[in-house]
Structure formats: C-alpha cells, structure tokens
C-alpha cells in the first residue's frame, strides 16, 4: 500500500520547493472524513485517494492537484461541502474537487442522449481547468486497476466507457502511458478470452523475440557509436490492445502482425534525430510512405518524434521512433509535462493554444442542439488521426484524416467556407470532395454569390464545418419559411378584409399564440411556411367559425368538378425544396414540368412555391431573390399533365391511330382536340395527356412519330 510519505518524496523529487504542508493537511483531512469507509475490495477507503494522488505525482503535477487528488471523493462520499474545502484549502483546490465531483455524477453507459450530455459537461469542465480531467483520469485509472471487485455487468459498463471516452481523452492529451494502461485494462475486462490469447501468444515466443530485440539494439548501438551520437535504445512490445486493434482493423492473424516490437531511440539534439533516421534508412530498407515527421509537424497534443518503418534484419517490419529526451518526456506525460508547477495554477499560453481543440468543441457544441450530432462531432475530435496541410501563407492547419478542401476553408474562416466555390491543391484545381493529404498546399476560391448546400454535409469531416453549414441551412430555411408563412397568412386575412399586421398588434394575439403553442408571431408564421399549420387555423381565431364555413361552402360550389380535379393534380409531393420540408408547392401551368426534367422554384405571393421547368421564359420576369433550388422527390407515383401538338398529313383513321399509340404507352389522354384540315392537307391535333415523368413522355413522343404520316410532334 502506497504511503503519504512516498507521494511527498515523489513530488519533492521533481519540485523541491513544493508546499508539502498542503499535501499533508489534505491527507489528514481525507483520512478523518473517510474513516470507517471501505472499498468493495474490503480495504480501507483511504487507499483509493492515496493511489490517485500517487498517479498524479507520476504525472508530475503541482501540489494543489495532488492535494485535490487526496480529497477528490470527500464531497461525493462524506458530509464535506465545497465551501468547507474552500475555507480550509483555498478556492483553487475547492474548484478542482467540485469539477471532479460533477464529472463523477455523470453516467455514461445510458442512452446516447445522456452520454452526449455527459461528455458535453465533462468537456466544459475540462475547458475551465484541465487539471480536473487529469485528476479524473487518475481516478479512473485506479478504478480500472481494481475493477474486478465490481459485479460483472458494472465491470463491462465501466470498461466500455473507459475505452470509448477516457482512453481517447488521455491519448488526445498526449498521456500515452495512461492511455495504454486504460486500453489494456478495458480490453482485459471486455474480452478476457481474446486478451488471454494475445497474452499467451506474446509470451510463447518471448525468449526468441527478446533475443531479436537484443540483436537489433546491438546493431543500432554500434552504428551510433561509429557516428559518435549519444543514444539510448529501447525495444519494447506494443501493448496488447494495440496488437488486437491491428488484427481487427487489418484482419490479420496474430502471426501476421509483424511490428509487435517498437524501438525507441532517444538522442540529445533534434539534428541527431534526423542523423539517426538517415542511419536507420541506410541500414535497412525503408517502407517509403511510412515515414512521419512529427518533429517538423508536431501533433496538436505537442507530441514530437520521427516515425519510420523498415524491413528489419529478420525480414520483418520494425517500427522506429526517434526523438530527443525532452520530446520523450512530452510523449510520455503529454500535457502534464507542460503543466509545470513553475507556472502556478495556469497552463502557459502555448499549452492553451495547443489544446485549442477543447475550446473548439466547447464553442461549437453551443450551436448544436441534437445530442447525436454532438456526439458524432466529439468522436471525430477525439480520435486523433490527422493530416497537416498548408495555407497559401505557409501556415500549418491540422485536420482529421479524410478532411476535404471545404473543411480547410471552414478552418480558415466561416465566411471562406460559406463562399467556397472551388479549391486548388498544389496549384491544381480539384473537386471539393478530394481528400487532403499531409503536406498539401491549399488555396480556396470564393465567390460572394456562393452559399452552403445540404450536400456539403457529406463532404466535410470536421465539427466546425458541419455545424457552420447546418447553421447556415437552418437560418436560411427559417427565413424562407417565415417569408412564405407571412405571405400565405396575409392573403388569408385579406380575403376576410382583415389585416394581419393589426391582428398581431392587437390584444388577442397573446391568447392565440398560447392556444396554438407558439412563443412568438415569427414562430407562428414560420410554422405556416413549414406547413405545420394552415393560415386558416390562425384565421379562425380572429373570424367567427360560421363565416369561414359559409365562405368555404360558397367556394366549393363555385368550383367546377374539373377544376377540383386539377386542384388535386397540383398536389405537390413529387417535388421537394432542397433542405426544406413541408413547403406548399404547385407546378407551373405555363411549362408543366415533368419528373426528371431540370426545375427551379419561385416563391410566389400567396401560392407557396411555384415550380417551373428550368429555362421557362416566364421565369425571366420573376424576381431572382425569390428563386429557390427544388428537386424531384423519389416518389413519382403521381402523374403530370403534358400537352403535345401533333402535325400529320391527314388520312383516314389518323386520329384513332394517334390515340392508340398514346394508350399503348400506358399514358392517359386527358383531352384531345383536332383542328380543321387546311389547304396543305395537314391535320393538327392537340393532346393533353397525363404521364408519370419525362421518360414516359419521351416514349409517347416516339410512338407518335412512328405513326404513319406524322410529320412533327411538339411539346407545347
């Protein structure tokens, strides 16, 4: 069992002027309030905060963090309050314990919604003081080490949560020794059989492999001595979970996972690192694309190292990591290495900049309402597969693997993203869906007339780009719906000689909003635009029901049955406005567009959206501001009217042959008119037919052209 003196000794080793009194007082306090409590293992509870403080000392944290580690469970598990801690140990320590307590209250293994909410809170806690998360990681590590005392179901839940959330966070913060231990412990509980199998396989040829490690180390050390480079060579097995992940992701059998061993060469200077790389490549054949320069392009968590994979002396792949002592320290302890006690309670400016991604998540999560969407964003941010690309000014931009020029554009500025019309990679125009590669130099072309579209969501990888595009679409959608809703409602009011403007200013409006369940007039009108409610529903609140009914009856009587049929045919469900649902729509009579044909929509006063054929002459006179993108929906079960003018040399039975040709194509004839035959003996017949789309119309036209004597078939 670890003793408080061991912890103090550890702290004094890296921080000789540490306030050990604070640590001692925290220990005495913790021992007093946890007195009599036991862990599931049967051991005194105090053991847990002691172990957590010990792990924090291994992370080389400041004395306030160590003391907070000793006290991290007192608010949750004893009668101690935050106020009391603040009085006795100062506000800084109290706020750390408060942060840890808040995270502990979260449950992660429930529904996705609650999981997202929990991560959201945890990230908020992190953004205030990263030490909160470091203490939580230490707490989780000790709990994972003693997980066997829990019931099995609970074990699985905690282990899964550790793998999903805590290990990636440790990795993102660059604390690899915690990441690997958490992963292996979680793996052991989640899949004990596989874990033991890999453990056995690694052990089986242990002697052989150790001999191999020794021989490679000998070769390197000899070469280093020749080149007069001071170097420390470490060879080690990869941790079990990383072997297992590799087997899974590359579908390999254990025997086929070659680079089970990784070598680390620690040298004095950066220049040495590149020299050593040269020596390694001079000794063994390198696998070209496997070389990674994280010294020139550090990872966002400050990790620096050269990575290369070569074909080693036994003909197998061997991975080398080459770095300086300082870099090695950062690689092992990550952010903690930068959280120097010398800096006091705050991380230095550089650390804050480097961990800006946490701030990013916090910033963008505020615009995200949907928990699933948020979770998806966080997962992308947490998994650190990145590419490093350059702006035209030579700035390095870090993006996740699979990111596209659009992600890059949004990383530069939201407006650059929103107005992006194209991109050049290394001077060449590329499609926006092109995946960026490390080292690419990217230039974004913009236009003021460009706007984001829903399709862009399929092209982007980053949370920032996604949330900015969604935000733009939502705002746009709402503005359109509001304008549309206002027009429709105004028209309905005018029909009853009422003014919408004065109605919304009147006394009654509050009551009306309440009864329909909307907060503001804009919300209400937007709902009309979205077709969630009808203008009539609003009107009814202002006009006596009887009057409306009478007028409706009068209108129904006035409408001829034919017109009613046409009214039905206008049914709009075959067309959708891009990015909008439930908009009122009708097909323009002037050009009667058919499914499959290019179309365009115009918001029309009081009529919802009118859909024209692209290029219809009538659209030229319409206000371009009212133009919106529309597209044919998937269902084309409906039919649409189309008019065809057929010209033919008159003969007996011509009309019968024409109608037969149309019927054979399974199109319905709505009406047929034939004019008088002129001097030239040409007969003109005008058919209105109903077809399901462009294809069917084309087959009708073809069939008509094949009728003997037909000279011309024209769409009118």
Residue ranges binding Mn ion (CB under 5 A): 73, 139
Nearest distance, CB of residue 135 and Mn ion, angstroms:
9
Helices and strands counted in the chain (H then E): 32, 21
Q: Which of 103, 13, 104, 2 is nearest to 55 (CA)?
A: 2
Q: How far apart are CA 454 and CA 581, in angstroms?
A: 13
Please state, in angstroms and rounded to a whole number, the distance separating the CA atoms of residues 252 and 9: 46
Looking at the Cβ atoms of 122 and 231, the one nearer to Mn ion is 122
* Structural element, H or E, at residue 64: helix 63-70
CB of 117 to Mn ion, least distance (A): 21
Question: Which residues share a beta bridge with 386?
Answer: 400
Decide whether 55 or 276 has the Cβ nearer to Mn ion. Answer: 55
Ordered DSSP codes for 654-689: HHHHHHHHHHHTTPEEEEEEE----TT-EEEEEEEE
- Measured from the CB atom, is 169 or 322 closer to Mn ion? 169
> Shortest distance, CB of residue 147 to Mn ion, whole angstroms?
13
Q: Do the beta carbons of residue 639 and residue 690 sit within 8 Å?
A: yes
Q: Identify the H or E element spanning 632.
A: strand 630-632
Nearest-angstrom CA–CA distance, 291 and 282: 14
Contact criterion met (CB below 8 Å) for 166 and 140: yes
Strand pairing class (396-400; 420-425): unpaired
Please state the closest distance from residue 86 (CB atom) to Mn ion, in A.
20
**Max CA pair span of the chain:** 118
**Which has the closest alpha carbon to 88: 132, 163, 22, 40?**
22
371-382 and 463-495 helices, crossing angle to 10° = 160
Least gap, CB of 72 to Mn ion (angstroms): 6
Q: Which is nearer to Mn ion, 126 or 135 (CB)?
A: 135
Q: Which of these is catalytic: 19, 77, 191, 373?
A: 77
| Cα separation, 288 vs 308, whole angstroms | 8
Pick the closer one to Mn ion by CB: 139 or 275. 139
Q: Given the complex with Mn ion, which of 68 and 423 has the nearer CB atom?
A: 68
CB under 8 A, 24+ apart: contacts of 378-384: 378/116, 378/119, 378/123, 378/463, 380/461, 380/462, 380/463, 381/172, 381/357, 381/463, 382/165, 382/168, 382/169, 382/172, 383/168, 384/168, 384/171, 384/172, 384/299, 384/300, 384/301
Q: What angle do CA 52, 55, 57 make, to 5 degrees?
A: 110
Residue of 21, 76, 549, 550 marked catalytic: 76
Comparing CB distances to Mn ion, the nearer of 139 and 477 is: 139
The length of the chain in residues reads: 716
- Residue number with CB closer to Mn ion (69 or 572): 69
From CA 677, how far away is CA 675, in angstroms rounded? Answer: 6
Sequence-separated (6 or more) residues with CB below 8 Å from residue 352:
none
CB environment 522-536: b (16+ within 10 A), e (fewer)? eebbbbbbbbbbebe
CB 437 within 8 A of CB 386: no
In the residue annotation, 76 being an active-site residue is answered as: yes
Q: How many other C-beta atoms can be found within 10 angstroms of the C-beta atom of residue 646?
A: 25
Nearer residue to Mn ion within complex by CB, 73 or 184: 73
C-beta of 73: minimal distance to Mn ion in Å? 5
Contact 183, 167 (CB under 8 A): yes
CB of 104 to Mn ion, least distance (A): 7
Side-chain half-sphere exposure of 151, counting CA atoms within 13 A:
2
Q: Smaller CB distance to Mn ion: residue 139 or 328?
A: 139
**Beta-sheet strands, E only, within 362-460:** 386-390, 396-400, 420-425, 428-430, 442-446
Nearer to Mn ion, 144 or 267 (CB): 144
Least Cβ distance, residue 362 to Mn ion (angstroms): 25
**Residue 549 pairs with which residues in a beta bridge?**
none
Nearer to Mn ion, 69 or 334 (CB): 69
Shortest Å, Cβ 52 to Mn ion = 6
Residue 557 in tokens? 């009587």
Structure tokens given for 690: 């109903």
Structure tokens at 286: 């390198």
In terms of CB distance, is 29 or 410 closer to Mn ion?
Answer: 29
DSSP state of 239: P
Select the residue whose beta carbon is closest to Mn ion and give its number: 139
| β partners of residue 608 | 604
Cα 533 from Cα 514, distance rounded (Å): 14
CB of 219 to Mn ion, least distance (A): 47
CB of 133 to Mn ion, least distance (A): 14
Under a CB-based contact definition with an 8 Å cutoff, are residues 88 and 28 in contact?
no
User: Could you tell me if residue 345 is left (phi over 0), alpha (psi between -120 and 50 degrees) or otherwise beta?
Assistant: alpha
Distance of closest approach, residue 4 Cβ to Mn ion, in angstroms: 17
Cα(358)–Cα(381) distance, rounded to whole angstroms? 9
Indicate if 117 belongs to the active site: no
Q: So which residues are the catalytic ones?
A: 76-77
């Amino acid at each position: 069992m670890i003793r408080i003196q061991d912890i103090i000794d550890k702290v004094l080793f890296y921080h000789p002027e540490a306030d050990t009194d604070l640590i001692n007082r925290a220990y005495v306090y913790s021992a007093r309030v946890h007195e009599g409590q036991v862990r599931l293992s049967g051991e005194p509870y105090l053991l847990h905060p002691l172990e957590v403080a010990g792990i924090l000392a291994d992370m080389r944290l400041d004395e306030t963090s160590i003391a907070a580690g000793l006290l991290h469970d007192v608010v949750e598990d004893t009668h101690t309050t935050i106020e009391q801690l603040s009085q006795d140990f100062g506000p800084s320590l109290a706020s750390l314990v408060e942060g840890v307590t808040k995270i502990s209250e979260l449950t992660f293994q429930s529904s996705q919604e609650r999981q997202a909410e929990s991560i959201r809170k945890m990230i908020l806690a992190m953004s205030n003081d990263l030490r909160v998360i470091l203490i939580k990681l230490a707490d989780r590590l000790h709990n994972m080490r003693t997980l066997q005392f829990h019931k099995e179901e609970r074990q699985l839940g905690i282990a899964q949560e550790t793998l999903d959330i805590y290990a990636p966070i440790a990795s993102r913060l660059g604390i690899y020794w915690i990441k690997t231990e958490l992963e292996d412990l979680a793996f052991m509980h989640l899949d004990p059989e596989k874990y033991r199998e890999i453990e056995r396989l690694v052990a089986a040829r242990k002697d052989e492999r150790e001999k191999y490690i020794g021989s490679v180390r000998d070769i390197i050390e000899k070469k280093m001595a020749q080149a007069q480079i001071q170097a420390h060579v470490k060879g080690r097995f990869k941790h079990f979970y990383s072997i297992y992940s590799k087997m899974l992701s590359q579908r390999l059998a254990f025997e086929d996972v070659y680079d089970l061993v990784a070598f680390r060469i620690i040298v004095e200077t950066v220049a040495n690192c590149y020299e050593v790389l040269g020596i390694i490549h001079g000794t063994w054949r390198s696998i070209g694309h496997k070389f990674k320069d994280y010294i020139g392009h550090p990872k966002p968590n400050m990790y620096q190292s050269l990575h290369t994979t070569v074909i080693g002396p036994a003909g197998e792949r061997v991975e080398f990591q080459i770095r300086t002592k300082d870099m090695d320290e950062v690689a092992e302890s990550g952010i903690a290495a930068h959280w120097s006690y010398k800096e006091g309670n705050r991380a230095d400016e550089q650390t804050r900049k480097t961990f800006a991604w946490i701030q990013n998540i916090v910033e963008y999560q505020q615009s995200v309402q949907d928990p699933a969407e948020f979770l998806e964003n966080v997962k992308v941010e947490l998994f650190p597969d990145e590419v490093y690309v350059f702006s035209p000014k030579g700035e390095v931009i870090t993006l996740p693997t699979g990111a596209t020029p659009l992600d890059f554009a949004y990383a530069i500025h939201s407006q650059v993203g929103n107005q992006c019309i194209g991109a050049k990679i290394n001077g060449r125009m590329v499609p926006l869906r092109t995946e960026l590669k490390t080292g690419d130099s990217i230039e974004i072309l913009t236009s003021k007339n460009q706007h984001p579209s829903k399709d862009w969501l399929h092209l982007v990888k980053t949370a920032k780009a996604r949330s900015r595009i969604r935000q733009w679409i939502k705002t746009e959608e709402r503005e359109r719906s509001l304008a549309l809703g206002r027009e429709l409602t105004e028209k309905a009011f005018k029909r009853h000689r009422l003014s919408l403007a004065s109605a919304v200013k009147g006394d009654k409006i509050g009551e009306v909003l309440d009864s329909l369940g909307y907060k503001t007039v804009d919300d209400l009108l937007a709902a009309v635009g979205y077709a969630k409610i009808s203008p009539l529903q609003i009107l009814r609140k202002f006009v006596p029901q009887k009057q409306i009914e009478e007028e409706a009856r009068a209108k129904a009587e006035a409408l001829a049955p034919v017109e009613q049929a046409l009214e039905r045919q206008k049914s709009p469900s075959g067309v959708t406005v891009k990015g909008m649902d439930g908009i009122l729509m009708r097909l323009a009579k002037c050009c009667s567009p058919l499914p499959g044909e290019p179309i365009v929509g115009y918001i029309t006063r009081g009529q919802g959206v009118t859909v024209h054929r692209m290029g219809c002459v009538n659209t030229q006179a319409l206000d371009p501001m009212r133009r919106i993108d529309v597209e044919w929906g998937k269902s084309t079960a409906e039919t649409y009217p189309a008019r065809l003018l057929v010209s033919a040399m008159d003969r007996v039975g011509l009309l019968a042959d024409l109608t037969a040709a149309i019927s054979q194509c399974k199109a319905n004839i709505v009406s047929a008119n034939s004019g008088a035959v002129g001097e030239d003996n040409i007969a003109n017949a005008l058919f209105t037919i109903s077809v399901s789309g462009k294809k069917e119309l084309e087959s009708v036209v073809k069939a008509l052209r094949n009728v003997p004597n037909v000279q011309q078939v024209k769409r009118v």
